[in-house]
Amino acid sequence: MATWCIRGQGIQFTWPRQSQPTIDIAELEIKIGERVLLRGPSGSGKSTLLSLLAGVHSVQAGSLSILDAELSQLSQRKRDKFRADHIGYIFQQFNLLPYLSVIQNVLLAIDFSKTRAKRLADRSISAQAESERLLTRLGIAADLWLKPAGNLSVGQQQRVAAARALIGAPELIIADEPTSALDTDARDTFLNLLNEECEQQKITLVFVTHDTTLSHHFDRIIQLADINCNSKDIANAAVESDLNDSAAYNGNKEA
């Protein structure tokens, strides 16, 4: 039984046409079921780190494994599938396809992942029933379910996005400042609901924000600036990447 949800060592990522790596993290470990707040000022490489965690981009050096899968060893296509099956992602805003109904938006996550569909089937719950349960749980009234998602308020849209991220019980939820567009009350409600669901289904939560008042909702706070030494020079990075290749392999075995 694995204990680590996210395990990264010597992670490096440099955007094309940039001399400095945007991400250079020696170690990042997040346990299964842990709810982590990731804080960093803008430009600290938050978005880049999230896209690495979500498997949209692949680390150029070091190892990054999620649920024991070494992402850099997966093909682009497999990483996309991995994301569909195991990761729920919530954006800051505009999470929904405005031309689909609320419920269709939630079901979209099931459409793209057989694994999520199977998880529900194993518990003999229909996708429809589960999305209705989640929407109700997150406080979206039934009369909104068939409305086009574009008609909902921002707060409602974020909760629908949360329902979509949660459906089919993925192991990891990555939320990229999902509350920044919400007022304080809505923010607390949203966080409470999200936390409860994650707790119930043993979902790991990585929550990015620069809002300092939210700390009490989380098990642990990671300051990105503390772990990301993106001022390292390129020569060093190259040497380190060689070392980390073998470390990644070992790390995998260990986990």
Partner 1 sequence: MRIVKLATASLLSRKSNAVLTLMAIAISVMLLLGVERVSQETRSGFANTISGTDLIVGARSGSVNLLLYSVFHIGNPTNNITWNTYQHWANNSQVAWSVPIALGDSVRGYPVVATEPSFFQHFRYAQQQPLQFSEGAAFQRGEAVIGAEVARQLNLSVGSDLVIAHGTGSVSFHEHDDHPMHIAGVLERTGTPVDQAIYISLRDLDIMHGGAHDDASNGHEHNHEHNHEHNHEHNHEHNHEDNHDHESSVANEYEGTHESHDAEEHHTHNHSTGSHSDHGDSAEHEHEILAGRNHSASNEIQPPIPGISAFLVGLQSKPRAIFMQRQINTYREEPLTAIMPGSTLQELWRTLSGFERALSVVSGFVLLAGLLGMLATILASLRERRREMAVLRSIGAGPGTIFTLLVSETMVLTLAGMAAGVGLLYGFIFMLAPWIQASFGVVVELSGISSAEWLRLGIVFVAGFFISLIPAWRAYRNSLSDGLSMRV
In the numeric block, which tokens belong to residue 134? 């989640």
Q: Considering only 1-9, 17-25, 32-40, 72-80, which stretch makes contact with partner 1 by CB under 8 A?
A: 72-80
Residue with tokens 């949360």: 162
Per-residue burial over 190-226, b if 16 or more Cβ lie within 10 Å, else e, is: bbebbbebbeeeebbbbbbbeeeebeebbeeebebee
Residue 54 makes contact with partner 1 by CB under 8 A:
yes
Side-chain half-sphere exposure of 200, counting CA atoms within 13 A:
11
CB of 249 to partner 1, least distance (A): 26
Report in angstroms how near the CB of residue 243 gets to partner 1 at its nearest.
28
Which of the residues 140 through 179 are near partner 1 (CB under 8 A)? 164, 176
Within 8 A by CB and 6+ apart from 211, the residues are 179, 180, 187
Tell me which residue of 5, 13, 40 sits closest to 208, measured CA to CA.
40
Is there binding between residue 77 and partner 1 (CB under 8 A)?
yes
Per-residue contact flags (x/-) with partner 1 for residues 95 to 114, judged by CB under 8 A: xxxxxx---x---xx-xxx-
Minimum Å gap between C-beta 52 and partner 1 is 10
Q: Which residue lies nearer to partner 1 by CB, 224 or 251?
A: 224
- Give CA–CA dist 145/102, Å, rounded: 5
Position 94 contacts partner 1 (CB under 8 A): yes
Is residue 201 at the binding interface for partner 1, with CB under 8 A as the rule?
A: no
Closest to 107 (Cα-Cα) out of 168, 66, 40: 168
| Separation of alpha carbons 125 and 59, rounded Å | 37
Residue 89 as a binder of partner 1 (CB under 8 A): the answer is: yes
With CB under 8 A as the contact rule, the residue among 92, 189, 201, 252 that binds partner 1 is 92
Contact with partner 1 (CB under 8 A): which of 59, 84, 102, 135? Answer: 84
Residue type (1 letter), 139: G
Q: Can residue 41 be called a binding residue for partner 1 (CB under 8 A)? A: no
List of residues contacting partner 1 (CB under 8 A): 47, 50-51, 54, 56-57, 76-77, 80-81, 83-85, 89, 91-100, 104, 108-109, 111-113, 164, 176
